Structure 1
């Protein structure tokens, strides 16, 4: 049995491994029941805020059916003055499942963890970087 890391940076790294393993239920289990997932740059018609673990689960459930992630290169995790909050810079690379088009997205995230659970995740991804032939994949997955 593995234990879930409590430190924000360790928990985040563990979560990335779960996403690469396509273990979405285990990734969702990293969330607090009242956690908030925000997308400040989401375009019109795409979710900007998810409230609660159930909403996060619903949003992420089919993610591996749309985006096949292979790696998170260029990962940098920055500590902040708040021990519960980190700032993450990274790329997610893989392919869009429906079209087979390459997927290469740069992310900046601000993540807060309390008592070993994600309580707030602000995902500053760039919707303009989505390949046009992959837009349907993102729309169906909420991304």
Structure 2
């Protein structure tokens, strides 16, 4: 996966998923998917990634086994540049990865939406979205509804 990501071959990265494999992003920012179901949703999600982030290096790779033989916890750091802003970025990831028959069946990715938004020049937009959500909660409005 690392080699394919560095080669910007997102189609091949998606091929690593089982047809019914799942990708989860528990810390995803407002407006970003939290769950992708199936290889084709993963493929669609990854399709534009090289046009958003130019990953130059994936380093500090640590693989931690778990008590489940098909599951590991993987830590790495991605560095590169946000394409839209040319700003450098450094994102740390912790992934819980479950593989069966050589394909990913669960990929739970814990990354910082704040770091990603800052690199992409969208931090103010993310904070505004979060503040708007908090304001709706304070006013008792249902999430995502304008009253």
TM-score normalised by structure 2 residue count: 0.79
Q: Which has the larger radius of gyration?
A: 2
Aligned equivalents of 1:95 and 1:25: distance in 2?
21
Structure 1: state its 5+ residue gaps: 1-14
Aligned equivalents of 1:133 and 1:103: distance in 2?
5
Task: Tell me if 1:89 matches 2:75.
Answer: yes
Aligned equivalents of 2:2 and 2:10: distance in 1?
10
Aligned equivalents of 2:119 and 2:74: distance in 1?
28
> Is the contact made by 2:54 and 2:82 (CA closer than 8 Å) also made in structure 1?
yes
Structure 2: state its 5+ residue gaps: 126-147
How far did residue 135 of structure 1 move? 4.4
How far did residue 130 of structure 1 move? 2.5
| Higher relative contact order, chain-length normalized (CA < 8 Å, sep 6+) | 1
In structure 1, the partner of 2:52 is 66
TM-score normalised by structure 1 residue count: 0.82
Aligned equivalents of 2:30 and 2:75: distance in 1?
24
How far did residue 103 of structure 1 move? 1.5
Find 1:76's aligned residue among 25, 43, 62.
Answer: 62
Q: Which runs of 4+ in 1 moved over 6 A?
A: none
Superposed counterparts of 1:31-46, under 5 Å: 31-46=17-32
Equivalenced residues, count: 123
Superposed counterparts of 1:1-143, under 5 Å: 15-132=1-118, 134-136=120-122
Aligned residues: CA RMSD: 1.5
